[in-house]
Amino acid sequence: MTKHKNSNDAIGNFCIYQILIDDKVYKIGKADFDRITQSTGIPTRIHQQIRILRKTYKSKLVRHRIMEVLLGVSTFDAIRLEKKLLRSIYEKTKKIPKGNQKSFNL
């Protein structure tokens, strides 16, 4: 039986991404790199978030940047890297990006 990719010990291909609004980091996240939206060619999780944010921030530039591609790693390792990058931002700015504020804890 195949493990769901949300299981910490599941192995898969992931990416760590940033969503930027007017070149300011809005969110750092982890996405399944194997689930790609055909129309845009980007991971589905990123595609969905960008689409919603463009409706919310109509007059602003909303874009993404893939920071790291992680092939054949565990979900746990991908989450660990995501948290490491968030901690790094927090240490520099003493702020958590808006899109991570509900889920991130030190």
- Rounded Cα distance between 97 and 104, Å, is 9
More confident residue, 50 or 5: 50
Give the pLDDT confidence of 56-100 residue by residue, as tens digits: 999 999 999 999 999 999 999 999 999 999 999 999 999 999 999
Residue with tokens 């931002």: 89
DSSP state, residue 35: -
Model pLDDT, residue 106: 63
Enter the pTM of the model. 0.89
Model pLDDT, residue 105: 75
Beta-ladder partners of 70: 14
- Which pair of structure tokens corresponds to residue 16? 């760590």
DSSP state, residue 97: -
Give the pLDDT confidence of 2-27 residue by residue, as tens digits: 556 668 888 999 999 999 999 999 99
Residue 101: CB atoms within 10 A of its CB come to: 10
Beta-ladder partners of 17: 29, 66
Model pLDDT, residue 2: 52
Comparing CA positions, the residue from 100, 105, 102 lying closest to residue 30 is 100
Residue 86: CB atoms within 10 A of its CB come to: 21
1 band by pLDDT with thresholds 50, 70 and 90: very low
